[in-house]
């Protein structure tokens, strides 16, 4: 396949991009300049650097294509990285001899020695905080799977939900024995576990427990916290009180506030007349009927739907993968239309709370493996999730 090559590769260098990363991306662009249109190749090059430098993951077809195109480029880059990480130590006798002779031009290995010390320090840090390790994806006997455990969910529900979200097939097979029933679990036609009990229900539960134990040896487990849903069932006034108390605690414990106090700040706004703002600028993700600015009736159905779509499009453009969009004080008919708009736009939607205090929660769909990567970056715990490493209890 031949493409237009009359364009300058250098124009795609980003201002904030370091030379090493640009050289890697540039090599990819130059290697395939005659095979793809400019914009498509630029996108592929960005995907390549994201995978190589950040460990990002993409759909299998994209990963396979980038792996094929980057084989030679990545090989050269990895070889250079290996040479940089080689340790060089100064022999004690050589260092002492140079010092005695007063040789000012004696070979210096301080840079390499510092790298070795840093490597050891990094290893100590990794041992203290296992979440700083790289992903453990080497041994996955049942395919690409991430365990997702909701509050108070049964083991069989955890296995079924995790397999469905990860795109795996799960089968429960039962066999009648003498006064007992055998339940065997298969994932992608591979046996996971089994149990023999007096009833079908008990056998399924025990087989699921054994299956969780087996899967935990190889796969990450993401626990969904229960307390984050509690706030969604609060009234808007209660939510505001929670936010105010959170902001106050943040102000007292924030490292920036502590540093400012060391420089003489005693609270209040900044400036000669304390004219600066006191409350931090926040992004409001809770939308009430008043904030939405419209009430659904028989005369404005299309306008209400367009308003929903505009609100959700803005949420997608913001790129927030951590905080859900919360709609409070809406009627059943209004929430039903919001559910429909969210589904058509590829978002997740779920209602929580009692009948007269229902709250609609809309969030972005996140691939389980992408969520594991994000949790590893932040230390394994967020307000919503707890990540457990393979093999941990």
CATH number reported for the structural domain that contains residue 298 in this entry: 3.30.1370.50
Answer whether 132's CB lies under 8 Å from 125's CB: yes
Question: Are 156 and 175 part of one and the same domain?
Answer: yes
Q: Is residue 383 part of a domain?
A: no
Question: Are 326 and 351 part of one and the same domain?
Answer: yes
Of the candidates 228, 181, 229, the one whose C-alpha atom is nearest the C-alpha of residue 205 is: 181
Q: Is residue 381 part of a domain?
A: no
Q: Is residue 78 part of a domain?
A: yes
Q: Give the span between the Cα atoms of 147 and 212, in whole angstroms.
A: 9
Question: Are 209 and 162 part of one and the same domain?
Answer: yes
Pure H helices in the chain: 19-31, 38-49, 60-69, 71-85, 92-101, 110-128, 155-165, 200-215, 227-232, 236-253, 255-262, 289-292, 301-318, 332-344, 368-377
Question: Are 234 and 358 part of one and the same domain?
Answer: yes
Q: What are the tokens at 252?
A: 């007292």
Domains identified in the chain, total number? 4
Cα–Cα distances (Å) from 34 to 4, 7, 72, 75, in that order, read 7, 11, 16, 21
CATH number at residue 204: 3.30.160.20
Q: Is residue 137 part of a domain?
A: no
pTM reported for the whole predicted model: 0.44
Question: Are 78 and 196 part of one and the same domain?
Answer: no
Q: Is residue 373 part of a domain?
A: no
Question: Are 246 and 326 part of one and the same domain?
Answer: yes
Q: Is residue 211 part of a domain?
A: yes
Question: Are 190 and 96 part of one and the same domain?
Answer: no
Question: Are 58 and 159 part of one and the same domain?
Answer: no
Q: Is residue 133 part of a domain?
A: no
Task: Look at residue 331 in the predicted model and tell me its pLDDT.
Answer: 84
Please give the angle made by the CA atoms of 389, 154 and 369, to the nearest 5 degrees.
35
Question: Are 194 and 308 part of one and the same domain?
Answer: no
Question: Are 115 and 232 part of one and the same domain?
Answer: no
Q: Is residue 267 part of a domain?
A: no
Buried b (16+ CB within 10 A) or exposed e, 128-167: eeeeeeeebeeeeebeebbbbbeeeeebbebbbbbbeebe
Q: Give the span between the Cα atoms of 230 and 228, in whole angstroms.
A: 5
Q: What are the tokens at 150?
A: 């909701």
Per-residue pLDDT for the chain (393 aa), expressed as one digit of tens each? 566 777 888 888 887 778 888 888 888 888 888 888 888 888 888 888 888 888 888 888 888 888 888 888 877 777 777 665 554 444 444 544 544 444 444 444 444 444 444 555 555 554 555 555 555 555 788 888 889 888 888 999 999 988 887 888 899 999 999 899 999 999 989 999 999 999 999 999 999 999 999 998 889 999 888 755 544 444 444 334 444 444 444 455 667 777 777 777 777 777 767 777 666 554 446 777 677 777 888 888 888 888 888 888 888 777 766 677 888 878 888 888 888 888 888 788 888 777 777 888 888 767 788 888 888 888 888 878 888 888 875
Buried b (16+ CB within 10 A) or exposed e, 286-301: bbeeeebeeebeeeee
Question: Are 248 and 331 part of one and the same domain?
Answer: yes
Q: Domain residues for 165?
A: 147-219
Task: Look at residue 349 in the predicted model and tell me its pLDDT.
Answer: 83
Cα–Cα distances (Å) from 387 to 12, 139, 142, in that order, read 37, 18, 20
Question: Are 301 and 199 part of one and the same domain?
Answer: no
């Amino acid at each position: 396949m031949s493409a237009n090559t009359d364009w300058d590769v250098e124009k795609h260098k980003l201002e904030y991009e370091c030379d090493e990363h640009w050289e890697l991306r540039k090599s990819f662009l130059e290697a395939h300049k005659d095979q793809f249109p400019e914009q498509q190749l630029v996108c592929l090059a960005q995907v390549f650097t994201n995978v190589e430098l950040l460990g990002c993951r993409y759909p299998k077809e994209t990963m396979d294509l980038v792996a094929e195109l980057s084989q030679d480029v990545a090989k050269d880059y990895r070889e250079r990285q290996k040479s940089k990480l080689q340790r060089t130590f100064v022999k004690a006798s050589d260092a002492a001899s140079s010092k005695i002779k007063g040789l000012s031009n004696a070979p210096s290995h301080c840079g390499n020695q510092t790298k070795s010390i840093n490597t050891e320090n990094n290893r100590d840090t990794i041992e203290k905080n296992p979440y700083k390790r790289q992903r453990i994806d080497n041994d996955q006997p049942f395919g690409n799977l991430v365990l997702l455990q909701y509050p108070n969910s049964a083991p069989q529900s955890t296995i079924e939900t995790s397999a469905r979200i990860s795109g795996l097939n799960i089968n429960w097979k039962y066999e009648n024995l003498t006064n007992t029933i055998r339940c065997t679990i298969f994932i992608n036609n591979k046996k996971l576990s089994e149990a023999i009990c007096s009833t079908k229900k008990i056998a399924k539960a025990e087989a699921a427990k054994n299956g969780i134990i087996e899967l935990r040896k190889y796969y990450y487990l993401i626990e969904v916290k229960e307390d984050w849903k509690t706030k969604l069932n609060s009234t808007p006034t209660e939510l505001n009180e929670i936010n105010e108390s959170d902001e106050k605690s943040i102000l007292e414990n924030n490292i920036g506030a502590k540093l400012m106090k060391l420089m003489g700040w005693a609270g209040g706004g900044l400036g000669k007349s304390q004219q600066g703002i006191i409350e931090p600028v926040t992004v409001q993700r809770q939308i009430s009927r008043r904030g939405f600015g419209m009430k659904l009736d028989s005369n404005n159905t299309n306008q209400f739907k367009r308003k929903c779509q505009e609100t959700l499009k803005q949420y997608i453009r913001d790129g927030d993968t951590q905080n859900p969009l919360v709609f409070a004080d809406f009627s059943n008919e209004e929430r039903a239309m919001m559910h429909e708009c969210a589904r058509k736009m590829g978002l997740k939607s779920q209602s929580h709370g009692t009948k007269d205090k229902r709250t609609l929660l809309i969030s972005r769909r996140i691939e389980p493996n992408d969520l594991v990567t994000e949790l590893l970056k932040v230390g394994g715990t967020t307000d919503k999730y707890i990540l457990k490493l393979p093999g941990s209890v």
